[in-house]
Every structure is written in C-alpha cells, then in structure tokens.
Amino acid sequence: MVATALFYIFAAIATAGAIMVVAQRNPVYSALYLVLTLFALAGEYVLLMAHFIAIVHVAVYAGAIVVLFLFVIMLLNVRLEERAPDAFRYMIYAGLPMAAILFVEMGYFAFRGFQQAMVQGTRVGLVESIGRALFSQYVLPFEVASILLLVAMIGALYLSKRKLEIVAFKRPRSKKERLKVMMYEEEH
C-alpha cells in the first residue's frame, strides 16, 4: 500500500512539473520545474527496483544537464516569451489535439495490456547486475558511448568558439593582420 501511495505522489509531482515546464513563460522557471519532474521520476525508478539508474539519473540530469540549461539561459540573457505573432498563436490548436490523440493511443494499449502484471522484486536493477552486463556482454556499446561523448565534447567546443579569436592570439605579422586584430578588439 505504501508503494501505491508513493507511486501516486511521485506521479502527481512529475505530471504537475511537466505541465509547468510547458506552461511557464520564463525559461528559468521551466528549467527549475524540469528538475522537480526529474526528481519525481527518480522516485518512480526506485519503485521499479532500478536503484542504479535512479542514482545515475539524478546525477546526470539534475547535476549536469539542467545546470547546463541554466548556464545557457543566463548566458544568453533571454527575455520573457512574449505573445506569439500571427500564425504561431494558433499552434496550440494543433498541439493539444495531437498530444491528446497520442496520449489516448498509448494509454489505451498500456491500460489494456498490462493490467495484471505487478512490479516484482528483482535484483536486475542493482549495481551488481548492471555492472556485470555492462562490462561483459555490452562492453563494446559502452566504449562506443564514451567515444560519442568525446565527439560531442569536441563538437560543442568547436561550435561555441568565436572564429576570430584565433587571429587575436597569433602575433600579427603584417600590417593588414595587425589592423584585423585591432578591428576585432574594437568590436568586442
């Protein structure tokens, strides 16, 4: 009974947080409500006996991804989302039915198919079993994932670098280059 109560509490928090993420006009509040949703989801993961994933989820999402979001929002100094001009205002009339249809579709099959199946006590989500799987059968995907992260890091660095900065660091050789550096410094 405790598990059922906890499920509904976490589900309510997650749903309310998700609604606020979509409804808030200030992106900073959206990010903070996203943290709330993610913490509630971590609670659901624990109820599903996925302890390792729950911990990693909190560390990766709340600790890294949302912080990155907040950094970018504050870097960009984004203003409040004002009322949308012209055609975009009617987007909600397309979005609401689509989301509703999607929900009914998925919810119907979930409700019809898995009514009797209960969450079972299993050791499959513990650190031990995941570690065994990750470092034996799935060691290649694991290594590929690390390469993917490296590539993403290099890509993010390259994209966020200003192109002209390289010129500024180099010692100017000709009059033309010196002029370019001076112009750059004036600009920034």
Dihedral class, residue 118 (left if φ above 0, else alpha if ψ from -120 to 50, else beta):
beta
Q: Among 186, 148, 146, which Cα is nearest to 168's?
A: 186
Instruction: List the one residue out of 16, 24, 39, 17 whose CA is nearest residue 73.
Output: 24
Range in contact with other proteins (rule: CB under 8 A) among 32-40, 170-178, 180-188? 32-40
Q: Which tokens hold the place of 134?
A: 């990750």
Among residue numbers 129 through 148, which ones bind other proteins (CB under 8 A)? 129-130, 133-134, 138, 141, 145, 148
Site for other proteins contains 111 (CB under 8 A) = yes
Residue 114 binds other proteins (CB under 8 A):
yes
To other proteins, the closest distance from the beta carbon of 107 in angstroms equals 5
Shorter beta-carbon distance to other proteins: residue 7 or 181: 7
Nearest Cα to Cα of residue 19 among 29, 6, 7, 9: 29
Q: Is residue 19 part of the contact set for other proteins (CB under 8 A)?
A: yes
Query: Between residue 62 and residue 91, which ones bind other proteins under the rule CB under 8 A?
Result: 64-65, 68-69, 72-73, 75-76, 78, 81, 84-85, 88, 91
